Structure 1
Amino acid sequence: MNPKIVAEIRTRLTELENRANISIPLAIESGSRAWGFPSPDSDYDCRFIFVRPLEQTFTLFPVRDVIEEPLTPVFDINGWDLGKALRLMYSGNAVIVEWLKSVFSYHVNEAFRAAALELADEVCDRRLIGKHYYHLVRAQMHRLNFLQGEVSLKKTLYILRPLTALMWLSEHPGRAIAPMNFRELQREVAFPDLVSEKVDALLERKARSSEMGTEQVDSVLSEFMLSKYESFESWATAGRESDGRRAEIDIFWRHWSSELHPE
């Protein structure tokens, strides 16, 4: 993380708060840097949650619930309204939980993050989280023709990370929130020794190569990923066990909407 770029992102976030009249309780780094496999030329994927003033939040005519700053080769900065983030959390989208667990923070209200993580522990359904990760894997598998031919290191890891998250869910029954960082995931799942060695070598090459560097996927690794992908097909149609947690999410939303932007 380049200190000058980090400082620039923080400045941009402060300017955005003032310009858009919003409050940002959480702004973190997502993407390959937070997942633990950046390239030397990786851009900065800043993601944030925001809250608008109450008269704009509690309205019959809401404005767009996403804010996107102009994309550059270095900066990719965008965020979700708190309501959108919570609805996606409840529907099984793991992205918001990953944001909450990112170790790279630009700006964080720690009380908000702690409360949001506590809420996630209570309302996230592991079936839906697993379904989310499975469909990430499936989309990349089909896009890359099931790892045939030359594949970018980045795209290989875009399969391996959610696939490892599925392994983690399978090996940790009763839990729904997998680690965000790939190295942490790797430590907490049962990779065969040879596969683990191949993964380590892939991560080392990714750290030295350009963001779009390509290669033929190692046969040991590709066979393992294909086999795991096929074994996780049951996640594809997983459904929610119960809809009984909506009241908790509403309470959280009302409280923090008022707490973060009361005027």
Structure 2
Amino acid sequence: MINHDQMMTHVRTHPFPLVFATISGAHLYGFPSPDSDFDLRGTHLLPLEMVVGLEDGRQTQEKEGIYDGLEIDLVTHDVKKFFTLMLRRNGYVLEQVFSPLVVFTTPEHDELKAIATDCITRHHAHHYLGFAVTQWKLFSKESPPKVKPLLYVYRVLLTGIHLMKTGVVEANLVKLNEDAKLPYLDELIAMKLEGPEKGTLESADLAFHESEYARLTGELESAYAASPLPEMPSSRDALNDLLVRLRLSQGSA
């Protein structure tokens, strides 16, 4: 269960003003274990004196805390760094912007979500293809094989396929499987939901999952080739305008 008060206790201690903070990780993906920690992600606003001088300022902030046994990890980037990542083929930051699990928000977050739709390109497929390769390596090298990296493999491949076909960022594997209809995913998700974070597959059919990994990788590659999404983002000017307004408002605060 998500305890918003505990999340906000952690968020309020951030040293800089936040534009937003949302929940990422297994809770966003739809398969948290009973002992999963909470991964909070977002963007912060450095004051002018930290961005106009020779030093880059604290571009990335990381903070961990434990509240009544609940472990919370908060990672944020300064708005300029975050906006720069949005203009690249980085699906991870888009998932953070669009996450429905909102802990802290502002009117600028709403504006950012509207702008982010114009950041999506067909080349975001490369982000998900690369992430799938990394997670498959993690899964295949462990003995006994663990449920978590296997679910991440399926999650990123289905997210990428869905994005290429619809232009919509969807990170929740349960919702993605409503369209994909892969019967084995329900059992894998149930194992992760009911078991510990490092739960294992007692009799994993590695050949079957390797075949599915290859099949879905091919499906994502085909979806990329046929995708109607644009080649380049068209949101640079809007992001720049929002960045300037945020900086100036901070300077006059």
Do these two structures clear the TM 0.5 threshold for a shared fold by scoring above it?
yes
After the TM superposition, which residues 66-81 of structure 1 pair with which residues of structure 2 at under 5 Å, given as runs?
A: 66-70=60-64, 74-81=71-78
Deviation at 1:260, TM superposition (A): 5.5
Q: 1:148 to 1:225 in 2, by over 3 A?
A: farther
After the TM superposition, which residues 46-85 of structure 1 pair with which residues of structure 2 at under 5 Å, given as runs?
A: 46-70=40-64, 74-85=71-82
Q: 2:156 aligns with which of 155, 162, 182?
A: 162
- Residue of structure 2 equivalent to 1:203: 189
The letter for the 1-side match of 2:121 is D
SS at 1:41's partner residue? coil
The letter for the 2-side match of 1:182 is L
Matched-pair contact (CA < 8 Å) for 2:118–2:234: no
Cα deviation, 1:183-203, whole Å, max 9, x if unaligned, reads: 22222x344xxxx22111111
Q: 1:253 to 1:210 in 2, by over 3 A?
A: same
SS at 2:13's partner residue? helix
The letter for the 2-side match of 1:65 is Q
After the TM superposition, which residues 129-208 of structure 1 pair with which residues of structure 2 at under 5 Å, given as runs?
A: 129-145=124-140, 150-172=144-166, 175=167, 177-187=168-178, 189-191=179-181, 196-208=182-194
- Residue of structure 2 equivalent to 1:23: 17
RMSD over aligned Cα, in angstroms? 2.7
TM-score, normalised relative to structure 1: 0.82
Query: What residue ranges of structure 1 are gaps of 5+ in the alignment?
Result: none
Q: 1:92 aligns with which of 85, 89, 93?
A: 89
Deviation at 1:245, TM superposition (A): 4.4
- Residue of structure 1 equivalent to 2:7: 9
Q: C-alpha distance in 2, partners of 1:116/1:2?
A: 24
Q: For this pair of structures, how many residues does the alignment match?
A: 244
Q: C-alpha distance in 2, partners of 1:202/1:243?
A: 36
The letter for the 1-side match of 2:212 is F
Cα deviation, 1:102-144, whole Å, max 9, x if unaligned, reads: 22222111x22221111111233231x1111110001122333
Q: C-alpha distance in 2, partners of 1:199/1:260?
A: 46
Query: What residue ranges of structure 2 are gaps of 5+ in the alignment?
Result: none
Regions of 4+ moved over 6 Å: none
The letter for the 1-side match of 2:7 is I
SS at 1:214's partner residue? coil
Q: C-alpha distance in 2, partners of 1:69/1:148?
A: 29
Matched-pair contact (CA < 8 Å) for 1:23–1:260: no
Cα deviation, 1:32-83, whole Å, max 9, x if unaligned, reads: 0111100011011112210022232333422130011146681212211111
Q: C-alpha distance in 2, partners of 1:244/1:40?
A: 41
Instruction: State the percentage of identical aligned residues.
Output: 23
Q: 1:217 to 1:61 in 2, by over 3 A?
A: same
SS at 1:150's partner residue? coil
